[in-house]
Amino acid sequence: MGLLSRKVTCNSHGQDSSYFLGWQEYEKNPYDEFLNPKGIIQMGLAENQLSFDLLESWLAKNPGVSAFEKDGKSIFRELALFQDYHGLPVFKKALVDFMAEIRGNKVAFDPSGIVLFAGSTSANEALMFCLADQGDAFLLPTPYYPGFDRDLKWRTGAEIVPIQCTSSNNFQITESALQRAYEDAQKRNLTVKGVLVTNPSNPLGTSMSRNELNLLVDFISDKADMHLISDEIYSGTVFDSPAFVSVAEILKDRNLTKDSESDVGNRVHVVYSLSKDLGLPGFRVGAIYSENDTVVAAATKMSSFGLVSSQTQYLLSAMLGDKKFTRNYISENQQRLKRRQKMLVSGLQKAGISCLKSNAGLFCWVDMRHLLQSSTFEAEMELWKKMVYDVRLNISPGSSCHCTEPGWFRLCFANMSEDTLDLAMKRLKAFVAESTGSRSRRSIHSSGKRKSLTKWVFRLSSRDREQEDR
């Protein structure tokens, strides 16, 4: 009998993925401008540090909130004592209003449909527990966030079946790919309980088109008891066209909401978080939004294992309730993300590297296929190791995101200063130049060998002919 359970000792957590291994190497040798200027630069962390000054400015102007005061009186005791795990009504109202504002107020969200969790990790896992039994499957388009192998599968026992998307159409979901994934699950005798997507996509940095969203809604409409989960934690990071379209907007346009005759709206659920849009991953604020009362009730029971503190809810209800602040923050944050993304793309171009055209997120999906020694995932891992240990950049290889094509990498740009990003691009450019130069030298050397061999063969054949003539 083992000391620990099979659950915690199994390898389905995903911690042996290169995605997490890169983090471990970074933590051993983290870059610091002054203390460790030759350390590894962290480009594997999708964190938004570009607008902290806006948050800090608001807190400075509202000192009573962070001091847990209301109308000049301390409410610390009230917040510190036991709270109903349904969440503070004032915060749930502020949160759904913020979600609607990010979506241009094209859709509205009912606070009664919100279930709070300690981050989107907990929210996604809770949905798996609510909707799938052990061994049931969800379809996910590739490439997808490496953490989903942990979040969706590890404790729930659910399975992930990939919807194989390719660069031929910029990794968009197609009807044929969706159907192939479904048929693959059936061949494996898996019960498919739904589809889960990230919109905007992590790691692609692109928002989903209306056609893709309609395709997914149609897909679950034809199959009873099948769900669609739209993880929209990057919805507020859309900094360029096309504009973000939430699945909630699709349901509204097609009259598939809660009060319609169809039950499709009851099988579509949104996951949200303040980790990316507001840059507050340490506050651990996530949520499920659903118009299915049964799912809301079940998720609320699950939420007792990962609650959001009352102090956090109080502070953020005041911040999000300040409409002037949220309007300015959303706009300014998106402009800053756009400028920083352009800086990364420009730096990549100077290094002779292209990337998928993106309009959202905190990262770019970068094409390094031309730097591979061969078109294999083994070659991708060799390149990744060089990036981490030689170039000293922690980037996420496409294989960790289950990409079907070797040579793609995710590079984050919003978790560092401009100077650090500039240094990262200089390191990358130097590496590419050296790699290209080495290849050219090898090519010339190889070509020289071929020419020498050709001359030798020619001389040999000439002597043979002379011998024959004699």
Q: Which residue, chain included where needed, has tokens 């995903």?
A: 14
Q: Is 276 a catalytic residue?
A: yes
Q: Is 145 a catalytic residue?
A: yes
Catalytic residue among 41, 114, 173, 233: 233
Question: Residues of 144-182 as b/e, b for ≥16 C-beta within 10 angstroms?
Answer: bbbbbbbbbbbebebbbbbbbbeeeeebbbbeebbeebb
Q: Is 85 a catalytic residue?
A: no
Return the bridge partners of 228, or none: 195, 268
The Cα-based distances of 413 to 154, 418, 422 in angstroms read 29, 9, 10
Angle, helix 323-350 to helix 89-102, in steps of 10 degrees: 50
Question: Residue 311 corresponds to which tokens in the numbers above?
Answer: 């102090």
Catalytic residue among 26, 229, 276, 288: 276
Q: Is 330 a catalytic residue?
A: no
Provide the residue count of the chain.
470
- 27 phi, psi to nearest 5 deg: -65, -25
Task: Outline where 188-322 has alpha helix (H).
Answer: 210-221, 247-253, 293-302, 310-320
Catalytic residue among 19, 31, 144, 145: 145
CB of 360 closer than 8 Å to CB of 238: yes
**DSSP assignment, residue 40?**
B
- CA nearest to 139, candidates 215, 42, 47: 215
* Chain mean position to CA 180: 24
3-state secondary structure of 45: coil
CB of 115 closer than 8 Å to CB of 91: no
Catalytic residue among 151, 231, 277, 367: 231
* Residues 6+ positions from 259 with CB-CB distance below 8 Å: none
The Cα-based distances of 164 to 129, 171, 174, 280 in angstroms read 25, 9, 9, 32
Peptide bond into 397 cis (omega under 30): no
Distance CA 278, CA 158 (A): 30
- Write out the catalytic residue numbers: 145, 231, 233, 276
